[in-house]
Structures are given as C-alpha cells and as structure tokens.
Amino acid sequence: MPKTKGKSSHEHEKQQVRVIMCTRNIGGSKVSHISIKRVHHATHTEAKKLADKVAAKLAKEYELRSHWEDDVLHFDRSGVNGTLSVGPKEFHVEVKLGFLMAAFKGPLQQAMEKNLDSLIPAAQQKVAAAKAPAKKPAKKI
C-alpha cells in the first residue's frame, strides 16, 4: 500500500479499519430506529385528526412529506422515513433514520414525543368533558 502523507502504510490501514468498524457499528445497531407508542381515548376520526396535527408540526419543523394509506400515515424526507399508525386505542410511530440523520435521533424523538403528548391530553380532556354528566343545580334549602 502506498504511503499517505506523513503516515506509514500500517497507520493508514489502522485508520481505514477504524472507519469501517465505526460504520458497521452505527449501521448495524438500533441507533437509527425510533419506536413510540401512546394510548389515546379519542374516536377513530379524532385520532386521525390528531395524527394530522402531529404530521403538520413535524412537516413544518423538519420538512417531512406525508400521505395516508388507510389508517397509516407515511412520512419521509431525505434520510428519514416512517409511519404513524392510528389504532382504536393507540398511536404507534415507527421511524428509520439514515446514517447521517442518526445523529439527530434524540431531538427528533423528543419532538415527536412532545407533539404527541401535547395533543393527546388536550383531546382526552375534551372527550372526558363530553362524557361527564351535567352538574345538577344545587337544591335550595
């Protein structure tokens, strides 16, 4: 192997091996996968509207494109693709990050969790208020 500027061929080989090992470790690990589940008490229609709101926020912040296929919202952008499944009682988000986007796993996951958590309680409060029995007027003594 030819010498690289200032490095022996042995040092150059060591450097190449380190880069390859680093790539395999990152690419083969779960670093590039996000999975989030959240329970909801909304109707199916309301749950899909909530999913649309989450997608709109993420589209604005991270330039994600999205489209629906039945009850699954698919979203993507360069280096990111995933789904948000709307079930009768739960949301399930699955995201796969490309090699370069893996560095943003933490902020992306936090943003998704924050958006889901902020929208779900608001919807659950509306559902609870609608289901709560009307207060009876107090009896006069």
Mean pLDDT of 21-45: 69
Taking the C-alpha atoms of residue 22 and residue 126, their distance in angstroms, rounded to an integer, is 49
Asked if pLDDT for residue 113 goes beyond 80, the answer is yes
Determine if the pTM surpasses 0.75: no
Spell out the domains of the chain, with CATH numbers in brackets. 32-125 (3.30.310.50)
Are 62 and 3 in contact by the 8 Å Cβ rule? The answer is no
Which DSSP string do the residues of the chain spell out, in sequence order?
Answer: -PPBTTB-HHHHHHHHHHHHHHHHHHHHSGGGEEEEEEE--S-HHHHHHHHHHHHHHHHHHH--EEEEETTEEEEEETTEEEEEEE-SSEEEEEEEE-TTGGGGHHHHHHHHHHHHHHHHHHHHHHHHHHHSPPPPPPPP-
- Residue 7 pLDDT: 55
pLDDT digits (tens, 9 = 90+) for 39-67: 888 899 999 998 888 788 878 887 889 99
pLDDT digits (tens, 9 = 90+) for 79-106: 889 999 999 999 999 999 998 889 889 9
- Residue 133 pLDDT: 54
